[in-house]
Every structure is written in structure tokens, then in C-alpha cells.
Structure 1
Amino acid sequence: MAQETIEAIRQAELAAEQTEKNAASEGDKIIAQAKAEAAETIMQLTKDAKEKAADALASAKKQSDSMMADALHLVEQELSTLRDAAKAKEPQAVQLILSELI
């Protein structure tokens, strides 16, 4: 009877040790999986942020190009207006110079 009790205790201790090892192993697996998932999440968030930044940069460049084109168009219009005004006054300027010379 005492021998059976000792054997039962020994079996219980072995079972407890195995359960502890299994729990530690399972805990390590869970931690490793959590780390892998966290790394994947970080990579995905980083990728998403880079894509959003690239999209914002492309949008800003497009807007800048459009503003530059509009400004260039306005400058060309102003230059054309000034040339037309100068050309319109050319006969008067020639007449004034000729009248001063004669």
C-alpha cells in the first residue's frame, strides 16, 4: 500500500513536470506567434504609411505643376498684352522722334 502511494505520487509528479514543460513550450509558441504577428503588423503599417506618403507627394507635385502652368499662362498673357500695347504705340513713338529731328 505504501509502495502504491509512493508510485502514485511519483506518477503525479512526473505528470506535473510534463504539464509544466508543455505549458512552457506552449507559452513560448504563443509568444513567438505574437512577435511574428506584431512584426507583420508593423511591416504592413509601415508599407501603408509609405504608400500614403507617396500618394500625397504625387498629389502635391501634380498640384504644383498645375499651379506653375497656370502662372506661366498668365505671364504669357501679360507679356502678349504688353507687346500689343508697345506695338500700338510704335507709330506714335516714330512720329515723335521724327518730329523732334525735323
Structure 2
Amino acid sequence: MSLNKKQIQYLKGVAHSLKPIVLLGSNGLTEAVIAEIDYALNHHELIKVKIPTDDREVKGLIVDAICRETEATKVQLIGKTLVIYRQSEEKKIHIPKL
């Protein structure tokens, strides 16, 4: 799903008050973590994921893998916190059109 600038700004505002739902552990990005992120996206649509690494390249690879595997859209990455969005069938979050 492709989001325009206004939609991304709206989702950033909605995500501001959210707490991270999924935290990556010392094992990194495993199939179980991907499954948990997928489940959380189905339930919440917009979630925060905590990525405990300071290496920018590793963090970028993890973010790309999460978005690819879950078919989610990256909204924002600040520090160690990733915000991703994937619309569910129930469409719980109504984002503006344009």
C-alpha cells in the first residue's frame, strides 16, 4: 500500500501515543517475531516495534525484512522504534484520502 505525505503525517499523529507492541530480543528477527508482528497488525493495523540495535545498516535490513514479510508500510523510524501500518479487512483506522 502506498501512502501519500498527508496520510503518513496522520498516521504519525495516531501512533504518537502508542506503546511498542513487539520487542525484538537477542535472537533478532525470527519467524516467531514475524508471526507476532503479523498478528498485531491484523488486530491493531498501526503498531510500534522496538528494534534493539544501534547499527544503522542492521536496523535498515531488519526494517526492510519486517515490511516485506508482513506486507506492511513503514510510517516512521525514530531511534530504535519502528512504526508500521497495514490496513485490515475491518479498516479500524480511517486515513484521509488526500
Q: TM-score, normalised by structure 2?
A: 0.17
Q: TM-score, normalised by structure 1?
A: 0.17
Which structure has more relative contact order (CA 8 Å, sep 6+)? It is: 2
Hey, which of these two has a bigger chunk of strand by percent? 2
Hey, which of these two has a bigger chunk of helix by percent? 1
